[in-house]
Structures are given as structure tokens and as C-alpha cells.
Amino acid sequence: MNAWNKFWKWYENKILGSIIIIAIIQFIQIPHMIWNADIMLEAGIVSRIHPVIDWFLYGVDLIEIVSIVNVGMIMYSLLKKRMAKKNQVIVNIS
């Protein structure tokens, strides 16, 4: 078994953990959305209180990259598994 197949076998066993990571990233988005709305409305209730807080809440956008890559890997893994099952059915019919 080559390294690529070993990786996907390991990853398929860890899909629940991947979904938990995605959920955490999505929950982190809630304060970010409130902060962003505050900036757009220029209310100043949450935003512009302290530059460090603004930097962290702005930086949450970069965390989304992990979520996007993770979703892509889950989709690829599930499609790969589905294609393997389909090929197995075709082989069994023949």
C-alpha cells in the first residue's frame, strides 16, 4: 500500500473528527459575524474597542481555509468510497 492510500485509509477513519473541526470553525464564526455587522453598521459596540480583539476577530476569516480544505477532503473521501463500492458491484456482476 503506497503512502497516498495509507493517508486516505487513515483519514476515512478520522472523518468524525474532521466534522467536529468544521463545526468548531463554524461556531467561531458567530462572534466574527456580530463583530463584522458592528463594523458595517459603524455602531462601535463590539468593534474598534481594542486593536488586538479586532485582529483576532478579523483573523477568523483565515481559519475558514481549514474548513474549506477539510470539506473538500471529506467529499473526495466519500466519492472515492462510493466509486470503490460501484466498481465492486460491477466486478461481482461480471
Q: What is the pLDDT of residues 8-66, one digit of tens each?
A: 888 888 888 888 888 888 888 888 888 888 887 788 777 788 888 888 877 777 778 88
Judge residue 53's burial from the number of C-beta atoms within 10 Å of its C-beta, 0-12 exposed, 13-18 middle, 19 or more buried.
Answer: middle
The answer to whether the predicted template modeling score (pTM) of the entire model surpasses 0.95 is: no
Q: Is residue 47 part of a domain?
A: yes
Q: Is residue 71 part of a domain?
A: yes
Which pLDDT value is given to residue 3? 92
Residue 71 confidence (pLDDT) above 70: yes
Based on the structure, what is the number of domains in the chain?
Answer: 1
Q: Is residue 3 part of a domain?
A: no
Check: CB of residue 73 under 8 Å from CB of residue 18. yes
Q: Is residue 1 part of a domain?
A: no
In this prediction, residue 94 has a pLDDT band, given cuts at 50, 70 and 90, of low
Domain extent, residue 89, equals 16-93
